[in-house]
Amino acid sequence: MARRRQLRGFDLKQIEGVAELIGVDEAGRGALAGPVVAGAVLVTKEFLESRWAVAKAGRVNDSKQLSAAEREELWTEFEVLVNQGQIHAQFGVADVDEIERLNILGATKLAMRRALEGIYAPDAFAQKPEPDLFAAPEEVAQFQPTVSCRVLIDGLALRHFPYPHTGIVKGDARSLCIAMASIVAKVTRDRMMSELEATFPGYGFAQHKGYGTEEHREAVLRIGRCAQHRSVFLRKLLAGRVDPAQMDFLGEKAEGRND
């Protein structure tokens, strides 16, 4: 629990000098099937010092370390916080066609951009050219970014991304807002995969959420691929060139902890 409290402390340091902090994370990057989904959660210093954050932030963690029931319970609390205006939370999706066209990294960046666009447009962060030395104070203000906000993205910093940001390696285990974003992404994607079970029965999407579990691999070998399978991932797997244990689903079993 003490380690989890460090997430809030980390964000209190990161928010120094700005008014807002946005954490971003994804779910589904290493799956064999289904979309990749990104979550974005905006917090303020007021929220980080709020009664909820002080009393309950210790329950928030990297979504992979939480049970499905724990994630759903936190999701419900996030909805209350959003309705109260204490936080903002959005998600973005890149579908299988976009994964095929852009590759998984490009599609992940697209999902993250869509999640962030639900909070702020990229030009809100744009630093305009320096004003003239003799410009009046009100003119100088027009050259500043619209928002005072720092964006934290789980993992390494992204190249050619429209939002200025800081990459935080293992950020979902270090930052509260990134961990909250990981829960938003995970719960959203899990619900989407459960809905796909009805359209594409026989694969077990509702159980393994599209990750490369033994059950999933056996189903693909038995009945073939469907429109939700990522052809590059699947082709390598079926050709025997990729050990499923080395893929980015971390070997999780179908118990709601696949990410």
Contacts of 106 (CB under 8 A, 6+ apart): 98
Predicted pLDDT at 126: 80
User: Are residue 165 and residue 221 in the same domain, yes or no?
Assistant: no
Question: What pLDDT is stored for residue 145 in this prediction?
Answer: 75
What is the pLDDT, as a whole number, of residue 136?
Answer: 60
In whole angstroms, how large is the CA radius of gyration of the chain? 20
Task: Choose one of 154, 176, 191: the last residue of a domain.
Answer: 191
Cα 151–90–11 angle (5° rounding)?
A: 35
Same domain, 179 and 55: yes
- What pTM did the predictor assign? 0.86
User: Is 125 part of any domain?
Assistant: yes
Strand-strand pairing, 149-154 and 36-44:
unpaired
Rounded average pLDDT per 10-residue block, the chain, 259 residues:
73 96 97 97 97 92 90 96 98 97 96 98 79 58 76 96 96 96 98 96 96 91 92 73 44 35
The answer to whether 238 and 230 have CB atoms below 8 angstroms apart is no
Domain co-membership, 11 together with 129:
yes
Domain that holds residue 240: 195-246
One domain for residues 108 and 133: yes
Distance CA 5, CA 76 (A): 20
CB atoms within 10 A of CB 172: 28
In the prediction, which pLDDT does 151 show? 98
Task: Indicate whether 58 and 138 sit together in one domain.
Answer: yes
User: Is the same domain home to 73 and 19?
Assistant: yes
Whether residues 122 and 221 share a domain: the answer is: no
Token pair 């999407």: residue: 205
147 and 57 within one domain: yes
How many domains, the chain? 2
Instruction: Assess whether 172 and 92 both reside in one domain.
Output: yes
